[in-house]
Amino acid sequence: MLETIQGDLYDFPDYYDLVYGSDWRAEFDFLLGCFGNHAQRRVTRVFEPACGTGRLLYRLARQGYDVSGLDRNPRMTAYCNARLARHGFPETCLDGDMSDFTLPRRVDAAFNMINSFRHLATEQQARAHLQCMAAAVAPRGVYVLGLHLTPTVGQPLDRESWSARRGHLAVVTQLWTKERDLKKRQERCGMTYDVYTPTRAFRLEGEMTFRTYTAPQFQRLLASVPEWETAAVYDFSYDLSEAIDVTSDTEDAVFVLRRI
Ligand SMILES: C[S@@+](CC[C@H](N)C(=O)[O-])C[C@H]1O[C@@H](n2cnc3c(N)ncnc32)[C@H](O)[C@@H]1O
């Protein structure tokens, strides 16, 4: 049995980035495709709310985009800025709440790929986020927003696991649903990082809560912020040639929203 330490798993950007940063190519190519296919303006400035370690941001910077991010966890923003600086880019990741922010200059495109949006606990916060994003993204720009919907037909996926290794560090993560309360619109998840180094092995364990959305609930929220139209929806296979129709059994959804 591993020694277990309880905590907020977003306080450990190194481990987060090792696990989630390794598998970036499909999302990266997909984002470039969305900017090209769905933005109706040239995309040079790109923003990521809830950017975490900025695993995609610094790669976009290397591709020539002018990037910025925002996160409420100062350990994440410090990690993101340090990496941008290491690669010779300005430290453009800000500390802040994605439901209450303004950017100094509008951007052409934004993205938020893996459920971070669902950390916004209430409908008011979610709407405020979409409104802040509408002020942040210039007309005809896009916001690529990925989340798991709660299917009303079939069973949602209840457990996911990833692992990665870099040099002598290996991390295995588990994320599982502890409780899903569709009335309260809350999904409580447990998460662990099992960390292995040459001298130590331990488990970090934490909990996170996500707001739930069925497809109609999410569509209603979108309709309440008329600055956005839906240009296309894809799933987490990130295949630009396979747009999907959102139905009652849809679980993975990446909405490409366009600023009207
Ligand atoms: C799953 S990580 C995603 C990071 C990054 N978007 C990625 O794709 O790797 C979720 C991030 O959302 C941040 N976060 C959660 N709620 C937030 C809020 N209200 N405002 C800003 N950041 C938030 C957390 O601190 C964490 O870094």
Q: How far is the CA of 199 from the centre of ligand 1 (A)?
A: 30
pLDDT digits (tens, 9 = 90+) for 28-38: 999 999 999 99
Q: How far is the CA of 194 from the centre of ligand 1 (A)?
A: 21
Nearest CA to ligand 1 atom 16: 119
pLDDT at 6 over 70: yes
Sign of CA dihedral 102, 42, 20, 116: positive
**Vertex 249 angle, CA 28 and 19, to 5°:** 35
131 torsion bin: left (phi>0), alpha (psi -120 to 50), beta (else):
alpha
Nearest CA to ligand 1 atom 4: 52
- The confidence score (pLDDT) of residue 15 equals 95
What is the arrangement of strands in the sheet containing 137-148, beginning at the earlier edge strand? 93-95, 66-71, 45-49, 107-112, 137-148, 252-259, 228-234
Q: Please tell me the distance from the alpha carbon of residue 209 to that of residue 198, in angstroms, as a whole number.
A: 33
Q: How far is CA 12 from CA 3, 59, 73, 79, 176, in A?
A: 17, 21, 10, 10, 19
* 3-7+152-211 CATH fold: N-terminal domain of TfIIb (2.20.25)
Domain ranges, ordered by start, for the chain: 3-7+152-211, 12-150+213-259
Q: pLDDT band for position 21 (50/70/90)? A: confident
- The confidence score (pLDDT) of residue 157 equals 67
The distance of Cα 207 from the centroid of its chain, to the nearest Å, equals: 17
Q: Which CATH class is domain 12-150+213-259?
A: alpha beta
Residue 188, CA atoms < 13 Å, CB-side half-sphere: 6
